[in-house]
Amino acid sequence: MNFRFGIEHEVAFVRPNGQFADFANTSFEEFESIVRRLPRYEKDYPQLRIGDAGIKLKRWYVEGFERFSDLGEVIDCPPKGIEIRTTVHNSIEGAVGELKESFRLLQQEAQKSGFVPALVSFHPFQTTFVPVPALNEFETKRRKKSPEMQTAHIPMLTQGPDINLSATGLTPSQLIDIGRKLTYYSPFIIPFSYSSPFYAGERWHGLSARTFYRTGARPAAMVFLEHESDLIDSNPSLTQLARVPAEIGRIEFKAFDSCGDFDLYASLSALLKGLVIDQTLKGRRTLPDADWHQRSAQFGLMDEEIYRYAEGAIAAAKHALMEAGELLDCSLLKRLETVLEQHYCPAVKMTEAYKKGDSINQVLIEGYEQNLKVRCVA
């Protein structure tokens, strides 16, 4: 079974005046001017999809809430940040390596405009996003096309990764089964990534406000299929029709919080790969279990049952990778085993820094390892 990997990572920013940059104080053009200075690689196409609105062109693009005229023309896009998407790689290391380089280039260009990347998984100050003006008739009809379009206001408050992988030889029914498996085990494997301990300008009572407030309305996993006849009906969606050939067979895990140390994505990708190969874990769900996710969001690996399920998932993935001879990827799980033993996640470190007196924005800036490296060099 040959695997391929890709990563999508959403980046938030602090503005030159020290404010957290969002749809209320930052224009599309401010972010787009940064993206324009970044390179375009012709070899990326057609595997990178160019969006219908013409915004998604490069490895970087402005992420926001697209607004349309009554005639269906894009007229605005209140932004939430800039997304990085990697090309498809045959190894986890290749995808993570490209992500690191793309982040470095983005960081470099953003700082020329006074913007500093900030590690965010849920908006630390805003609690709602309401489109202004209200949606017109065309927009209302467009948003009804899928469950995800109907809840598109929720991602305006969240940042997070999509960890993408595909494997040769999987049938549509096998892909759907994998999606259901990852959905079931989602609340037990996502605590390794938790990084959203702030809400409404204060410390939140748990570890992942993102998980707590998005689960139920948004999918944990999604698989992309070639034929519409293979799709299953669910809300939120578990299946989606592939939009370009490179998407056929993609397994997209969407429930992790953002990680400021991109090597953690390598370990999480290895975990997902091991779970895809594994044949022992029997749990399946079409829809995310909101109760389990919200419990997980509050207590993470400190919860004994969640700890036990996480331990079982790592063990199953490790055994599957070893049996498949994937020793390099198996070694990536060591970090998760250490994190599990320590009952740790990035939100713990962020909370500790906040308690010591750092501002929320300062905590978010220091959430990125590469921001700290730049500071040390300076």
CATH number of the domain bearing residue 353: 3.30.590.20
SS3 131: coil
Find all residues with CB under 8 Å of 239, minimum gap 6, and list them: 176, 179, 222, 223, 224, 225, 230, 231, 232
Confidence check: pLDDT of 374 > 60: no
Radius of gyration of the chain from Cα atoms? 20
Between 48 and 253, the more confident residue is 253
Distance CA 274, CA 326 (A): 9
Query: Which runs of E-coded beta strand occur in the chain?
Result: 3-14, 60-64, 67-68, 74-76, 79-85, 116-118, 161-167, 198-199, 202-203, 221-225, 239-241, 251-253
358 burial type by CB count under 10 A (0-12 exposed, 13-18 middle, 19+ buried): middle
| pLDDT score at 378 | 39
Query: Binning pLDDT at 50, 70 and 90, where does residue 377 land?
Result: very low
**What is the dihedral sign for C-alpha 178, 183, 185, 191?**
positive
pLDDT tens per residue across span 24-53:
999 999 999 999 999 999 999 888 888 766
Confidence check: pLDDT of 334 > 90: yes
pLDDT tens per residue across span 134-192:
999 999 999 888 888 888 889 999 999 999 999 999 999 999 999 999 999 999 999 99
Distance CA 180, CA 283 (A): 8
> 53 is in which domain, residue-wise?
3-377
The domain tally of the chain equals 1
Distance CA 299, CA 293 (A): 10
Distance CA 375, CA 363 (A): 14
- The HSE-up count of residue 69 (CA atoms within 13 Å, CB side) is 4
117 burial type by CB count under 10 A (0-12 exposed, 13-18 middle, 19+ buried): buried
320 burial type by CB count under 10 A (0-12 exposed, 13-18 middle, 19+ buried): buried
| pLDDT score at 373 | 57
Q: Which two tokens stand for residue 91?
A: 């190894």
Taking a C-beta distance cutoff of 8 angstroms, is the pair 300, 306 a contact?
yes
Task: Tell me the mean pLDDT in the region 217-234.
Answer: 96
